[in-house]
Amino acid sequence: MYREAEFVFFAAFAPSRATARHRCFPLAPDWTNFLAMEMQDQYDDAMFDYTTSDYDTAIAKFQQILDAHPQHFDAQLSLAMCHYRKGDYAKAIKEGHKAEKMNPNEQLVHTNLSLFYMKSGDKKTAEHHGLQARIASWRGNMDKPDQNAAPGEDELKMSQPKAPSAPVKIPDMPWKKKPPIGH
């Protein structure tokens, strides 16, 4: 662990960007953190290209990340989405299944695959992955509630009904009474 005084701060400007990126490196570098930060910067650059609709550049950068780190789940998922945005649905499905192998219970994987299959015209498989996405969302929190929690701490506790109040007497309204017919 490094103390705050041991850090050197500097701004590195990306050549194709107008804004500065601020990085923080320790004086005595820990290369694993350096490489992780470098990979995060590469991923951020690729995502910037994706958001600016430069899909070919983003695909190349995501592929470069995956060549160095084949288990980078976010890069794999983003690569599939780049192919989808380009209109190459077969390649998007192929890359999406690679992401599914990395994390088979991830809701976003199945949501994306459902989208890819629907656009490619395979409605049956799209519905299958849509169902898998719903099932994955239900798996979110399957832990049992804490039995030692105080009674008021339960987030889903139903509100207590209010005690019924005494009925309000409605005043007589003689002006609304209709006179008897025929008198």
163's tokens: 């005690």
User: Which candidate, 76, 111, 82, places its Cα nearest to that of 95?
Assistant: 76
Is the confidence at residue 16, as pLDDT, over 50? no
Q: Give me the pLDDT at residue 70, please.
A: 92
Name the phi and psi angles at 75, rounded to 5: -65, -40
Q: What mean pLDDT is predicted for residues 52-81?
A: 94
Is the confidence at residue 90, as pLDDT, over 80? yes
The pTM score is 0.59
Q: Is residue 78 within 8 Å of residue 50, measured between CB atoms? A: yes
Confidence category of residue 92, pLDDT binned at 50, 70, 90? very high
Is the confidence at residue 140, as pLDDT, over 50? yes
User: Which candidate, 76, 54, 58, places its Cα nearest to that of 67?
Assistant: 76
> Mean pLDDT over all residues of the chain?
76
Confidence category of residue 153, pLDDT binned at 50, 70, 90? low
Is the confidence at residue 67, as pLDDT, over 50? yes
CA distance 105 to 22: 35
Q: Which residues pair with 9 in a beta bridge?
A: 24
For residue range 108-133, list pLDDT tens digits in order. Answer: 999 999 999 999 999 999 999 999 99
Is the confidence at residue 151, as pLDDT, over 80? no
Q: Give me the pLDDT at residue 75, please.
A: 94
> Which residue type, as a one-letter code, is found at position 63?
Q
Is the confidence at residue 71, as pLDDT, over 80? yes
Q: What mean pLDDT is predicted for residues 55-60?
A: 94
Q: Give me the pLDDT at residue 15, please.
A: 36
More confident position, 91 or 23: 91
